[in-house]
Structure 1
């Protein structure tokens, strides 16, 4: 009898462990904050079980923001066990980080290098070996144009949804002073560009970082509109790209 009791207890522990892993993955995959109702549907358990499992994950060291009636957001924490990655995921991580090391500004390139080193130290031995000797890589044989502003300050302004100002020279060399709401920095073909809403033109614009000078932060904020503004601008760029690629246009 004790054998069967122990087996039932073992299976219950394994089932609970698997359920906690599923909940962690659901918290990573679902748009935050994820409500208990949505998490219950995703994992196939009751909402009451979700609340208990959230408490269990928090007790194990997971940092999960939120509460009942509002939703939950998983904040990755260094105290959590190392994550496992599939072979293709490892290759994707390597090529992505090495691409940033090639084209990112100095601080971002150093951050990518540091992230790659941390991944190697946190992964299981077999996966760390695959990461070190990945098949895919990234290499560019040209230097992107020199960025003459502090791109880190610009990134932080975008995160804080803070308006910035700078002097700008267009392709013809004409200079203007701009006040913009920074939305995102993207690497387009050969250079870094800031996607922003320009208050001088009263429209969305893309600005090359190598043509920007005298970046200044203002005390004006545009939160919480960065994400919807970026979606709107991205949709417009996508539509314009499709139109220009259409031979009938």
Structure 2
């Protein structure tokens, strides 16, 4: 293992622990000698890593230390480029601009060799099969999910029937051909998924829904597993 990869692995291991962990345990997990471990910790501390502790006592890393992008492996850079390009091509302007800005920030702090590798990446995103027109801003939907606000939506299903719903949005799912708002629907008293291109109008309500979105997501996963269902972008069962 190259030294840079070994240092990255040590940082990742330390991040998992909230309490001091003995050097010998770290050395065994990483497959290095205790002397090598001590040298690596000293090297990381010299580079600014907030690692506290000493031999015989244990080591712990303070929260908030950011891994320098220069320590990204080639496959990690490939994943970043492909993911950012997908978002830039498939998502609304806010997320698209955010993806391109984040990619530029990463490129700016990479060493020359890795920056060239990022800029010359051959991983490309193909054109979507079909682009839908959206009457409702995805910014508004994401904001409601973050704020855990109820939404009053007017929805048209695949047969053309229009209904009014009060929903608790807790996730927004991006497919190649659709975006799906995952909600608890007060009308149906159950989980329902709504294609955002079929939402005719939406109003964010002042009232917050009574559960945390993380709780709703856990409950949805549990119900989804029990019923052997999945999220589909094209189905009459998406909202009924």
Structure 1 residue 226 and structure 2 residue 203: aligned?
Answer: no
| Partner residue in 2 for 1:92 | 79
**TM superposition shift of 1:205:** 0.8
Q: Quick one: distance in 1 between partners of 2:22 and 2:143?
A: 32
Go from structure 1 to structure 2 and tell me whether the alpha carbon gap of 1:204 and 1:42 turns closer, same or farther (over 3 Å shift): farther
Structure 1 residue 240 and structure 2 residue 216: aligned?
Answer: no
**TM superposition shift of 1:126:** 1.3
| Partner residue in 2 for 1:196 | 183
**TM superposition shift of 1:24:** 4.7
Structure 1 unmatched runs, 5+: 1-17, 45-52, 63-71, 242-249
Please say if residues 91 and 134 of structure 1, whose CA atoms lie closer than 8 Å, have aligned partners that are also in contact: yes
Please say if residues 27 and 74 of structure 1, whose CA atoms lie closer than 8 Å, have aligned partners that are also in contact: no
Q: Quick one: distance in 1 between partners of 2:127 and 2:65?
A: 32
SS at match of 1:180: strand
Go from structure 1 to structure 2 and tell me whether the alpha carbon gap of 1:24 and 1:216 turns closer, same or farther (over 3 Å shift): farther
**TM superposition shift of 1:61:** 9.0
- Please identify, of 92-101 and 226-235, the stretch whose mean Cα deviation from structure 2 is larger: 226-235
| Partner residue in 2 for 1:66 | none
- Please identify, of 34-43 and 104-113, the stretch whose mean Cα deviation from structure 2 is larger: 34-43
Structure 1 residue 128 and structure 2 residue 128: aligned?
Answer: no
| Partner residue in 1 for 2:125 | 138
Please say if residues 95 and 137 of structure 1, whose CA atoms lie closer than 8 Å, have aligned partners that are also in contact: yes
Go from structure 1 to structure 2 and tell me whether the alpha carbon gap of 1:24 and 1:215 turns closer, same or farther (over 3 Å shift): farther
| Partner residue in 1 for 2:235 | none
Q: How high is the TM-score relative to the length of structure 2?
A: 0.69
Paired residues in the alignment total 201
SS at match of 1:36: coil
**TM superposition shift of 1:75:** 4.6
Please say if residues 23 and 39 of structure 1, whose CA atoms lie closer than 8 Å, have aligned partners that are also in contact: no
Please say if residues 87 and 99 of structure 2, whose CA atoms lie closer than 8 Å, have aligned partners that are also in contact: yes
**TM superposition shift of 1:86:** 0.8
Please say if residues 185 and 192 of structure 2, whose CA atoms lie closer than 8 Å, have aligned partners that are also in contact: yes
Go from structure 1 to structure 2 and tell me whether the alpha carbon gap of 1:112 and 1:19 turns closer, same or farther (over 3 Å shift): closer
Q: Quick one: distance in 2 between partners of 1:76 and 1:147?
A: 40
User: What are the equivalent positions in structure 2 for 1:1-249 lying under 5 Å apart?
Assistant: 24-26=11-13, 30=16, 35-36=18-19, 43=26, 74-75=63-64, 81-222=68-209, 225-237=212-224, 239-241=228-230
**TM superposition shift of 1:194:** 0.6
Q: Deviations over 1:159-178 (max 9, x none)?
A: 12222221111111111111
Go from structure 1 to structure 2 and tell me whether the alpha carbon gap of 1:152 and 1:42 turns closer, same or farther (over 3 Å shift): farther
Q: How high is the TM-score relative to the length of structure 1?
A: 0.66
Q: Quick one: distance in 1 between partners of 2:65 and 2:149?
A: 26
